[in-house]
Amino acid sequence: MLLYDSYRTKTILNSTYKDYMTSYAFWNNKGGIGKSFLCFVTSCEYAHQHPDTDVYVIDLCPQANVSETLLSISDTESALGKVLKEPIRRSIGGYLEARLNNPFKPLDDIEDFICYPKDYNSNIPENLYLVCGDNLLEIISEAIRQTSQLAIPVKAWSMVLNWVTDLTNSLQKRSGDREAVIMIDCNPSFAIYTQLAITAAHAMIIPFTPDESSHRAIKNVMALLYGVDLEDPKLNSYAKINYHSRAMEEGIRLPKLHSFVSNRVTMYEGKESKAFKAISKVIKKTVDTFYTHYRNHFSTRAVPSKEFLFIPDYHSACVYSATVGIPLHVIKPGPKDFRGERIQINKTPLDKYKSSLRKFVARL
């Protein structure tokens, strides 16, 4: 596991991070890149490989895609619906609603907001826990934003932005002497609930697809988080008046850029296709340039492009995995009955995907 010396037993805004507590946010300012699926398979693979570690997934996306998959999407209405309809809403929405009722004091007990996916989906590792996504996030987001703008207390903004950080600290305490790792799935937008997620993260995982819209989205990540746009300096004056500058003023720690994952890579004769390779080259140049000027925002000392990860596209296995809620380590090659059809999961592409996923998880 990658640990950061600057975070070890360091208290920031009354939140203590111990060296066995690591949180990763999966985010890009672009949708449709397989971010939630990557969070799902990564969390399950990590839990599978580290049975003595508690893996917590916090779903901070109103669409709740990673929650649907963990609870088995084939039974979504009865599983996720049941979780959200309990007397105390067992979700991130329920947690944030409780915080709205008492904004400036961490909750004494967060057990009511934790779901155990294995109760609904037997394929999920038993050491994986979930704080469900919830469409309530969208509904209460304005109330959260307004609470953060209160004049009293003076630190209202930073205290609200640390609500999910408070949750991660409580999850750490819950695990006691067991190691705890937290995976946070984010919405593509930079809404207030995304800012809560990013504030709670030690490290950022940036999935992307090799296309120009992903390139623009990665530049937006740098501008929104760190207040910098190297390719269009005119935008810097705008980038510095929101989250980044306020975080700097109020002592909020910014997460490090940990991994850039080229997701759903189209392969040709065992190699990345020329079209994907051309756009990847442009993205690598942008990230490397940013690294040259702002190395402190990265968790690695190596040139980032040298450590880009490539996950090959295997559409059949991924659709099957996401729809049925089966982690990659459980899937075996061969014919499968799927939605009234007979499909084939081939060994070679499945093994390539699993190998790429294991290499990625080994970096965490």
The CATH number given to whatever domain includes residue 232 is 3.40.50.300
Q: Is 64 helix (H, G, I), strand (E, B) or coil?
A: coil
Tell me the C-alpha distance between 332 and 311, whole Å.
18
Supply 285's token pair: 């140049």
Residue 285's alpha-carbon distances to 30, 299, 308, in angstroms, are 19, 18, 12
Tell me the C-alpha distance between 138 and 136, whole Å.
5
- Cβ within 8 Å of residue 43, ≥6 positions away: 55, 57, 66, 70, 128, 183
Structural domain total, the chain: 1
- Residue that is written with structure tokens 């995982």 in the block: 205
Could you tell me if residue 174 is inside a domain? Answer: yes
> The whole model's pTM is what?
0.90
Could you tell me if residue 13 is inside a domain? Answer: no
Task: Select from 243, 236, 258 the least CA-distant residue to 199.
Answer: 243
Render each residue's pLDDT in the chain as its tens digit; 364 residues: 333 333 333 333 333 434 444 899 999 999 888 899 999 999 999 999 999 999 999 999 999 999 999 998 655 557 888 888 888 899 999 999 999 999 999 999 999 999 999 999 999 999 999 999 999 999 999 999 999 999 999 999 999 999 999 999 999 999 999 999 999 999 999 999 999 999 999 999 999 988 889 899 999 999 899 988 777 766 666 655 678 888 988 999 999 999 999 886 555 455 556 666 788 889 999 999 999 999 999 998 889 999 998 887 767 888 889 888 999 999 999 999 888 889 999 999 899 889 999 999 999 9
DSSP state of 298: B
Could you tell me if residue 167 is inside a domain? Answer: yes
Supply 28's token pair: 């890009």
Could you tell me if residue 222 is inside a domain? Answer: yes
Tell me the C-alpha distance between 34 and 43, whole Å.
14
Could you tell me if residue 259 is inside a domain? Answer: yes
Domain assignment of residue 257, given as a range: 20-315
Could you tell me if residue 209 is inside a domain? Answer: yes
Could you tell me if residue 7 is inside a domain? Answer: no
Could you tell me if residue 302 is inside a domain? Answer: yes
